[in-house]
Structure 1
Amino acid sequence: MCGRYALTAPPEAVREFLGLVELESFPARFNIAPTQPILVVVAGECQELGSNLPDRRATLVRWGLTPGWVKDPKDFPLLLNARAETAIDKASFRAAMRHRRVLVPASGFYEWHRPPKESGEKSQAYWIRPRKGGIVAFAGLMETWSSADGSEVDTGAILTTRANGTIGPIHDRMPVVIKPEDFSRWLDCKTQEPREIADLMVPADDDMFEIIAVSDLVNKVSNMGADLQAPAAVQPPLKPVRKHDPGEDQFRLF
């Protein structure tokens, strides 16, 4: 699951990494949380018309996907994540997988190791970032929900897959990372059917990320400073965590 992440890279670096036509300035964000606006990248008009030119644009969506067929979002779960293994066939994600795939730029993400309750140990937060620094692009989905009065809300979710060997001891899920050479293919919803890009929705290489134990400051959405990523003197667990209920990836927030 991915429930918190950060985007702290300068806008110019994000623009260059993702091949964006333009990108407005934005502040560093160290604790991006559900229901907040998140930056996503979509195919531009040239790519939508079948051109091979890297024509992409950035937009903001609310983190928490709402399918277009939902009548009242208040009565529908907040879909932060979509499981890569089942998103193609799930009613909530099927249309977005076919027509509205996006990239979600990030500097890294947070995950919590939650020991069994009987152990008496407290949960430990970890900051997980690219080992070589820089930016990564998570695979994402976008949907526009329209209300009865005609107003619209753009919403999004991050795709997750099974954890790789590095992250497995912390959690059994991780975001799907799309490599730069696959950006165009992932965003191309005109010629690339969902099953044709299924090979992209796999765990990142074991050596891609490094894990840094951090304090519980990240638990509170109101904490937004760089100190959230300060290392804490905690060793990561050595054994993979238990497999959790798939429903934990899609939960309701009030």
Structure 2
Amino acid sequence: MCGRYTLTVTLEELIVRFMIEDAFIPFHRPKYNVAPGQMVPAVISDGKRNRLGELKWGLIPPWADDPGIGSRMINARAETAADKPAFREALRRKRCLIPADGFYEWRKDGQGKQPMRIVMKDRSLFAMAGLYETWLAPDGRKISTCTVLTTAPNALMADIHDRMPVILRPEDEAVWLDRANREPQRLRALLKPYPEELMEAYPVSAEVGNVRNDSPRCIEPVGSVG
């Protein structure tokens, strides 16, 4: 799964990296411990331009009776999303990019678990493949939410966890956002493990386990890299 990630860059860096023409984020600061249930930056396309806004992490399907279902929908398995009622229509029509510069996973280490931060070797920004939906509450409120697609681990991740987020190659991001593309086979081809030779992982402090901790200390290496 993917349950925590980092986005430690400025709004300006996001705008440049994802070629944003319209940004609808009133305030953005570096985030060192993004968690489910929070509002997260996401990129969508309106067919002509890329737009940056915020979505609540934890997808609420339009047909849901209880918005609490979102807490169980933070991830969608890439292998089965096209067949699941909660994700099927979003995969066809409502795809987004969720920017990140790292994500956390917990590796079993003896009797405990060691939190690891996984990043690109060049520390560049990347895009996780996401889906989004808008839920209409009985009182008329609209809640826009998202989920992160996951896939089988690459060789780097296999020693840490049995799943990893789908990270899109930069050249595939426009294909993922293209609303005219509704071919499941073409989309499925994008949902694969990212090349492990471009990534690295290092241990970080156990304080990332508490969502209230959100400071540069969360991403500082501890112990030996492995």
TM-score past 0.5 threshold: yes
- The change in CA–CA distance for 1:204 and 1:75 in structure 2 (over 3 A counts) is closer
Identity %: 37
Select between 144-153 and 218-227 the one with higher mean Cα deviation: 144-153
CA contact (8 A) 2:36 2:71 kept: no
Structure with greater proportional strand content? 2
1:35 is the counterpart of 2:40: no
Whole-angstrom CA distance in 1 between matches of 2:218 and 2:127: 21
Question: 1:112 aligns to what?
Answer: 106
Question: 2:207 aligns to what?
Answer: 217
How far off is 1:195 after superposition? 2.5
Among 109, 114, 125, the residue aligned to 1:124: 114
How far off is 1:113 after superposition? 1.1
CA contact (8 A) 2:47 2:178 kept: no
Among 96, 99, 105, the residue aligned to 1:102: 96
Select between 73-82 and 158-167 the one with higher mean Cα deviation: 73-82
Among 216, 220, 226, the residue aligned to 1:226: 216
**Alpha-carbon deviations, 1:97-145, whole Å to 9, x = none?**
0110000000110000135xxx5x1111001111111100000000111
Question: 1:13 aligns to what?
Answer: 13
Counterpart amino acid of residue 30 in structure 2: A
SS at match of 2:196: coil
Question: 1:156 aligns to what?
Answer: 146
Counterpart amino acid of residue 136 in structure 1: F
- The change in CA–CA distance for 1:189 and 1:8 in structure 2 (over 3 A counts) is same
Whole-angstrom CA distance in 1 between matches of 2:66 and 2:182: 32
How far off is 1:194 after superposition? 2.7
Whole-angstrom CA distance in 2 between matches of 1:77 and 1:187: 25
Normalised to the residue count of structure 1, the TM-score between the two structures is: 0.84
SS at match of 1:166: helix
Question: 1:200 aligns to what?
Answer: 190
Counterpart amino acid of residue 84 in structure 1: A
SS at match of 2:72: coil
SS at match of 1:31: strand
Among 56, 60, 63, the residue aligned to 1:66: 60
1:188 is the counterpart of 2:188: no
Whole-angstrom CA distance in 2 between matches of 1:210 and 1:191: 32
SS at match of 1:6: strand
RMSD (Å) for aligned C-alpha atoms: 1.5
**Alpha-carbon deviations, 1:63-105, whole Å to 9, x = none?**
0001000011236652110000000111110011011000000
Whole-angstrom CA distance in 2 between matches of 1:81 and 1:219: 18
SS at match of 1:134: coil
Select between 16-25 and 30-39 the one with higher mean Cα deviation: 16-25
Whole-angstrom CA distance in 1 between matches of 2:158 and 2:125: 21
